[in-house]
Chain A
Amino acid sequence: MSGTVAGVEARMPIRSDLDLVWVRQHVRRAAAALGFGLVDQTKLVTAASELARNTLVYGGGGEMAAEHVRDGRAQGLRLTFSDRGPGIADPERALSDGYTSGGGLGLGLGGARRLVHDFSLDSTPGVGTTVTVTSWAVRSPRQREEPR
């Protein structure tokens, strides 16, 4: 398959609670367009919601970039959340469940990591944080017609 699926690639600002709504809607539509099943759509949307909220609340706002990625015949969606906030001093601790520097449940980062296939966190204190997640649409390979 060549060419990109329409309505997948986007750069979206994350500056207010309302922007979180657009981010969730975009991720759901993009995931559906790439053939994600309902469960995988919901997982990715939930992860995006957690990460976008972190960008807004802890990073002081930033943006999300959505990209269509391919690996052979597999279709994937990569989401990059970046901010120029204070950064995360101890990423391991931030990823552990129950740790929060705000008033949340402390499940956002760790939970998001469990909801996606690939997760990477790049943070420099004082410079900002970039979280990149990728999920793949799980499709059963097309059956080859058996010669009679």
Chain B
Amino acid sequence: MPEHETAAEQTTPASDVGRFLHRRREQIAQRWADEPLFRTVFTVSRDEAVEAGRVLVDALAQVAETGRVADTDAAGFTAVREQLTGMVASRARFGLTSGQVSTEVDGLRPPAVTLLAADLPEATPEHLRECTTLLTVLMGTLRLVVLETSLSEGQALIDRQQLELMEATTPVIRLWDGIVAVPLIGTLDSARSQVVMETLLESVVDQQARFAILDITGVPMVDSLVAQHLMKTVAAVRLMGAECVVSGIRPAIAQTIVHLGLDLGTVVTRSSLADALAYALKRLGADIVIAAPGGAGPR
């Protein structure tokens, strides 16, 4: 077929770079395995680094052949995105910033460009320059893909931590038979207060609690919305047949609540968690008695 002939002899910079990457796949992968980016990620064996390098070269060749060298969404990049994510995460664990990882990716460019020049000895200077520029653009796009990956990794980490923080900061503690407490830490926004209410109501059922203590020592500020969340939680606990005590009201918070005009008159409040526990114990019919000196009990 004449068309086939033309395709084989066609020497656009993109197809030349694609063919070069295929032909020199092994050498490029070997050189890259010695670069910091690969050397520090694949520490167990050099073969792993070389293999990862081959996969990356294949991906770049695929991108070059489709001619979309400046497109970070090119199909070739999609194939290696997962591998790049792993490599970026590994470097990030070493404490490298996205910028530093990006610089390491740039370190892959010189070996590839050197090999390209050696691979096209009979090319005209004009054609060689075009091929080099194209390869440089391609490596620049790879750098961008890596940067994107590392930024989306960062966002994913933040989302995950936000969820974990929400779960972690609302533990329900059983203080005594029938008394549970939630130490609240941080700002009580709508999502947090929903989690608090759910976990508290569940534990009121599980523990057959008659008293639930909401300790706000770790809450930096109580505005009308936070107060509204607190009062809703108190009301819900009351509906479950238990009594709610709000403790840990610091002087600054108390003064602020008064100026704000909030009426917490219907809520039992205590200044400290210890006071709240003593109150609940007393209401349960138990009392804390300080043992008389020397009265450790008969043996």
Contact = CB atoms under 8 A, between A and B. Distances in A.
A53 B225 contact: yes
Nearest to A52: B223
Contacts of B260: 46, 50, 107, 111, 114-115
B99 interface: no
A3 interface: no
B295 interface: no
Interface string B208-228: 000000000000111111011
Contacts of B227: 105
B256 A104 contact: no
B251 interface: yes
A68 B190 CA distance: 32
A130 B224 CA distance: 20
B261 A42 contact: no
Interface in B235-255: 251-253, 255
Nearest to A43: B256
Contacts of A43: 252, 255-256, 259
Contacts, number: 65
Contacts of A39: 251-252, 255-256
Interface in B257-276: 259-262
B252 A17 contact: no
A38 interface: yes
* Majority secondary structure of chain A interface residues (helix, strand, loop or mixed): helix
B259 A111 contact: yes
A40 to B, nearest CB: 9
A114 B221 contact: no
Nearest to A104: B224
Contacts of A28: 220
Nearest to A28: B220
Given A42-B221, A115-B260, A105 B253 contact: no
Given A43-B259, A114-B260, A21 B224 contact: no
Nearest to B226: A49
Interface string A25-43: 0001000000000110111
Given A39-B256, A43-B259, A114-B259, 4 more contacts: A17-B190, A24-B187, A43-B256, A107-B261
